[in-house]
Chain A
Amino acid sequence: MFLETKNLSKKFGGLTAVNNVDFTVEKGKINAIIGPNGAGKSTFFNLISGFHPPSSGSIILKGQDVTNMPPNKIAELGIARTFQTTNLFEQSTVLDNVTVGHRLRTKSNLLDAVLRSKRLKREEEQCREKALEVIRFTGLEKVAGKLVGSLTQEEKKRTAFALALATEPEIVFLDEPAAGVNPDETEGLAQLMIKMVDSGITVCLIEHKMQMIMKLADKIMVLNYGEKIAEGTADEIRNDPAVIKAYLGGSASA
């Protein structure tokens, strides 16, 4: 059991966005969460990454209870995430964007900065090395010196991946990584996710592009109105009557 949620719920006032969800993320696999708009997928991500405190239930990472931990502590434990909107630093270069991603593994403080200590220089070099490594990994070498504001949507998505990877995560949560990206580029991003899993990182993603998910995911959970309605492999999900009902409406038969 790598990462697990137990009876996880989140209420916003009278609205239950996530309702009693039990979910396990399997190590070294591509896990996917799908569901119609407003099903609570992003809220579920926000709960796991610590942005919202859950109303009830718990989140357990490698046997450790991480419920109610702040996002930065959760990141330190090896959980990284990307946002649905590419939430990057547009005015600086790809390299600069990604460099700060390794900050959490460094220790130098204000005094190191003022004195330009050896530790700072060593750690700056370390951050730079890490940035170059993840830039190569995500295939961004050509645009490493460009301002993020001038990149294509796909390159921005890759930069977001690179930033997440620079934190040295064990598990990466990707919120709609292929939204707003054309089919060819989607395929490229899918390859990148496979590459991540091959290098030992667990992936969990939310996605709307069904073809991609069905091909890619080892395990899928379906949310509808905040509740888990199905969980299993792509084939099991495809033939699940509850899922068909949620997506196609009540009377459809498949």
Chain B
Amino acid sequence: MKFINKRNIIMALVLLAIAFPFVTQNDYFIHVMTLSFIWMIGVYGLNLLAGYTGYLSLAHAGFFAVGAYSLGLLTVKAQMNFWLAFVLALIITSILGFLVGLIALRTKEHFFAIYTLCVGYILYLVIDKWDSLTEGVRGLIGIPAPANIGPISFETPLSQYYLVLAILLVVILIVYRIVHSLTGRTYIAIRNSEDLAQTIGISTMKNKLEAFVLSTFFAGLSGALYASFIRFIGPDIGNIVITFDLLTYLLIGGIGTLSGPIVGTVLVVWISQQLQFLQDYRMLIFGPILTLLVIFYPRGIAGSIAGWNAKRAEKKLAKAQLDERFSQSTLAAENQVKEG
């Protein structure tokens, strides 16, 4: 019986996340952690598409901003009930994702990346320039915090931390279930070889579109949470820089792994907090690290660890088989000797 197994590690991490605010007692740390959780949700969306289905979308920040602005506009300008606006924001982002996906998914590989890069930039431009709707560069101010659910209010940073944590855990559960189902296998088959996937009867367009809409849904969720947490949004949240931030988290943590988004986001966000004094020169540190990581550990931290484990298990198996065969052949040899 091993004490350090997957289930115990997950339980420990969840407990750690729940205990975190009491351990630190520091509002700033709680703020940073809440923000990390929000990014993680977006990174999970990116991971489903780029990591599991093999389509790198660079429009992710655009959809993040669509989710954030949908919530902001519906609550601030339309004065709508918070949770209704929240659900609508997710629906709007998903519908937009569906429409974009219909066209974008006709392209592949780097063409897809370039196309979605343009879509992301157009989304940013629309938000930035459509003054009468979005207030342009002035941004949207006074977005309400999440409304009460029954007796629970979300006005304090602590309650918001737990709200975001709860949503993140649900997101992880959903992604876990998708990845470990026939649907997940289907996405992975498309990532590995689209031709082969089609040959074995998979409707690639339908599945790719599904993964794309899912990824935009999570981007929208992440954006809507961001808007209600920060309470102020500007067009910059749709900027391409945000897409690359999310992609960095994913690459460092491990693209196409379940724990990658958590590992990468926590690590990068905390390291950049620690290096705040360096301002933009932080990138001088992150750039080389990322480059080295992609060269030597293309599957990121979580992916490399999983890879080592898989290799070790395989070696163990091969050794066991070899031992078995060896003992059989010596037995056979002994028999021959006896017979001879």
User: Taking the nearest CB of chain A, how far is it from the CB of B190, in angstroms?
Assistant: 10
Q: Does A75 contact B (CB under 8 A)?
A: yes
Q: Which residues of A contact B185 (CB under 8 A)?
A: 96, 99-100, 103
A114 and B177 contact, CB distance less than 8 A: yes
Please, how many angstroms separate the alpha-carbon atoms of A75 and B201 in the complex?
5
Q: Does B210 contact A (CB under 8 A)?
A: yes
A147 and B314 contact, CB distance less than 8 A: yes
B195 and A113 contact, CB distance less than 8 A: no
Q: Which residues of B contact A166 (CB under 8 A)?
A: 200
Q: Does A106 contact B (CB under 8 A)?
A: yes
Please, how many angstroms separate the alpha-carbon atoms of A142 and B318 in the complex?
10
Please, how many angstroms separate the alpha-carbon atoms of A126 and B185 in the complex?
14
Q: Which residues of A contact B195 (CB under 8 A)?
A: 51, 71, 83, 87
Given that A89-B192, A120-B182 are known contacts, is A113 also in contact with B199, CB under 8 Å in the complex?
Answer: no
Please, what's the 1-or-0 string for A31-54, where 1 marks a CB less than 8 Å from any CB in chain B?
000000000000000000101000
Contact of B198 among A71, A88, A127 (CB under 8 A): A71
Q: Does A200 contact B (CB under 8 A)?
A: no
The main secondary structure of chain B at its interface with chain A is helix
A110-142 with Cβ < 8 A to chain B: 110, 112-114, 116, 120, 123-124, 127, 142
Closest to A160 in B: B196
A87 and B193 contact, CB distance less than 8 A: yes
Given that A75-B200, A163-B200 are known contacts, is A103 also in contact with B188, CB under 8 Å in the complex?
Answer: no
Total cross-chain contacts (CB, 8 A): 103
Given that A87-B196, A89-B193, A113-B183 are known contacts, is A104 also in contact with B201, CB under 8 Å in the complex?
Answer: yes
A89 and B181 contact, CB distance less than 8 A: no
Q: Which residues of A contact B203 (CB under 8 A)?
A: 70, 72
Q: Does B8 contact A (CB under 8 A)?
A: no
Contact of A113 among B181, B198, B202, B204 (CB under 8 A): B181
Q: Does A80 contact B (CB under 8 A)?
A: yes
A112 and B196 contact, CB distance less than 8 A: no
B182 and A72 contact, CB distance less than 8 A: no
Closest to B179 in A: A113
Closest to B201 in A: A104
Q: Which residues of B contact A91 (CB under 8 A)?
A: 192
B136-191 with Cβ < 8 A to chain A: 174, 177-178, 181-186, 188-189
Q: Does B81 contact A (CB under 8 A)?
A: no
How many B residues touch the partner, as a band? 20 to 34
Q: Does B292 contact A (CB under 8 A)?
A: no
Q: Does B310 contact A (CB under 8 A)?
A: yes
A63-109 with Cβ < 8 A to chain B: 70-72, 75-76, 80-81, 83, 87-92, 96, 99-101, 103-104, 106, 108-109
B201 and A108 contact, CB distance less than 8 A: no
Contact of B182 among A71, A113, A114, A146 (CB under 8 A): A113
Closest to B183 in A: A113
User: Taking the nearest CB of chain A, how far is it from the CB of B100, in angstroms?
Assistant: 19
Q: Does A150 contact B (CB under 8 A)?
A: yes
Closest to B256 in A: A91
Q: Which 7 A-B pairs have the closest CB atoms?
A: A104-B201, A75-B201, A113-B181, A89-B192, A71-B198, A113-B183, A100-B185
- Jot down 23 A-B pairs with beta carbons below 8 A, ordered by A: A51-B198, A71-B198, A71-B199, A75-B198, A83-B196, A88-B196, A100-B186, A100-B188, A100-B189, A103-B201, A108-B182, A110-B214, A112-B183, A113-B177, A113-B182, A113-B184, A116-B177, A123-B182, A146-B317, A150-B314, A163-B200, A164-B200, A167-B200
Residues of B within 8 A of A (CB): 174, 177-178, 181-186, 188-189, 192-193, 195-196, 198-204, 210, 214, 310, 314, 317-318, 321
Interface contacts beyond A83-B195, A100-B202, A113-B181: sample of 11 additional A-B pairs, CB < 8 Å, sorted by A: A75-B199, A76-B201, A87-B196, A89-B192, A100-B186, A100-B200, A101-B200, A108-B182, A109-B183, A113-B183, A163-B196
